[in-house]
Amino acid sequence: MKLCYKDYDIKMSLAAMKKFKTATGLDLWATLFSFIAEYENEDARELALTERLSRLYEICNFDVAAHAFHSLITDNSIPLIEIEDAMFRVGWMPSVDETDMAEPWPLVMVLAIYELDKQFKEMQLEAKKKAAIEQDKK
């Protein structure tokens, strides 16, 4: 995940889910799913960018998003304030910077969700390969 010119390794885990739940009282999967569902909503694509971002912000506000990012980051030495500061610096609206390192935090959230989905698909593929190998051994 790239946030404010810094790359963070992220991973969905039970520990991340528990950390998020403790901090916010919310379910991490449900929060991320609601966020991406709204982002991919065909009706929302017809809206002006500001309205679309406003809807995303209603699902996952700044504080909740900061805790989501912080919970997913694999390096436990990163303080929450670093994530909050990075989010504040990139803002919530698209910038003129065309690199993927200065995306507004709602778009970083979208990209992080896609990255997590890719990780899960790779894990499922590995599990299938492992099961096939075990089956061949029999």
User: What are the tens digits of pLDDT across the range 30-82?
Assistant: 999 999 999 988 887 788 877 888 888 889 999 999 999 999 999 999 999 99
Output the pTM of the full model: 0.85
Burial (Cβ within 10 Å: 0-12, 13-18, ≥19) of residue 115: middle
- Is residue 5's pLDDT more than 80? yes
Name 49's Cβ contacts closer than 8 Å, sequence gap at least 6. 93, 94
Q: Which domain holds residue 43?
A: 2-137
DSSP string, 96-107: S--STTS--HHH
pLDDT, tens digit, for every residue of 90-126?
Answer: 887 766 666 666 788 998 999 999 999 999 999 888 8
**What is the torsional sign of CA 83, 40, 50, 99?**
positive
Q: Are 49 and 37 in contact (CB under 8 A)?
A: no
- Give the pLDDT confidence score for residue 98 in this predicted structure: 62
Q: Please give the residue that has the higher pLDDT: either 25 or 125.
A: 25
Q: Are 20 and 28 in contact (CB under 8 A)?
A: yes
Domain count, the chain: 1
- Is residue 24's pLDDT more than 90? yes
Name 74's Cβ contacts closer than 8 Å, sequence gap at least 6. 8, 9, 10, 11
* Sole residue written with tokens 């200065």: 102
Would you state the structure tokens that stand for residue 87, as one six-digit string?
């989010």
